[in-house]
Structure 1
């Protein structure tokens, strides 16, 4: 089995979104403390469950993205896009109801929306 790098523009954009997702996931998997700090979260000294959650969530992101990179199937790209679309929806809900309307949250919302749009646009044939 050889590693496939797409040449078609739409698939290359979806592939790029999977690479970014894998990098985010690996970062959270191997540097959970830094990932939590960047997210504005912290763990209590007596409890390390926050690190476990960050590592497992990072592993999930990395695993899904690595499978997408290895299999190069539109339905797997759809899974990444759907996940980021719901994450962006959750961030919009938070912006509206939790009083978390900050520049940082807006930037993360744009990143999540972009990471949702690229693979979904490819999977549904728009690009």
Structure 2
């Protein structure tokens, strides 16, 4: 089995979005302390459930990204873009409802909007 890298530009964008999503998921899964510090969060003393929750979310990102990379099908790219897009919607709700308009939240919103846009642009023929 050989590694597939797309030849057309639109699919290369979707592939890049999937690869970046998988990389972010890998970092979140294996370095949750680093991510918590970046987000300005601190786990309670003696309570490590936050690490488990963060690793689980990282596993979802890693799994979606790797699935899109390995299968390279438009419907898988659609699932990746839809999941990331709904995550962005949740972040927007947080910014508006929870008064969470911090620079970190806005930065992550922009990053995940771009990651969602890459596969969705390919699926809907915009790139």
TM-score w.r.t. the length of structure 1 is: 0.94
Q: Which residue of 1 is the match for residue 25 of structure 2?
A: 25
Number of residue-to-residue matches in the alignment? 127
Q: State the 1:107 CA deviation.
A: 1.7
* Distance in 2, Cα, partners of 1:31 & 1:104: 18
Unaligned runs of 5+ in 2: none
* Distance in 1, Cα, partners of 2:101 & 2:55: 27
Stretch moving more, 80-89 or 104-113: 104-113
* Distance in 2, Cα, partners of 1:45 & 1:52: 15
Q: Contact 2:24 / 2:58 at 8 angstroms: preserved in 1?
A: yes
TM-score w.r.t. the length of structure 2 is: 0.94
Q: State the 1:102 CA deviation.
A: 2.3
Q: Contact 2:28 / 2:55 at 8 angstroms: preserved in 1?
A: yes
Q: Which residue of 2 is the match for residue 122 of structure 1?
A: 122
* Distance in 2, Cα, partners of 1:101 & 1:29: 25
Q: State the 1:103 CA deviation.
A: 2.4
Q: State the 1:77 CA deviation.
A: 0.9
* Distance in 2, Cα, partners of 1:122 & 1:73: 11
Q: State the 1:92 CA deviation.
A: 1.1
Q: Which residue of 2 is the match for residue 112 of structure 1?
A: 112
CA RMSD of aligned residues (A): 1.1
Q: Which residue of 2 is the match for residue 53 of structure 1?
A: 53
Q: 1:14 and 2:14 equivalent?
A: yes
Q: State the 1:104 CA deviation.
A: 2.3
Stretch moving more, 28-37 or 10-19: 28-37
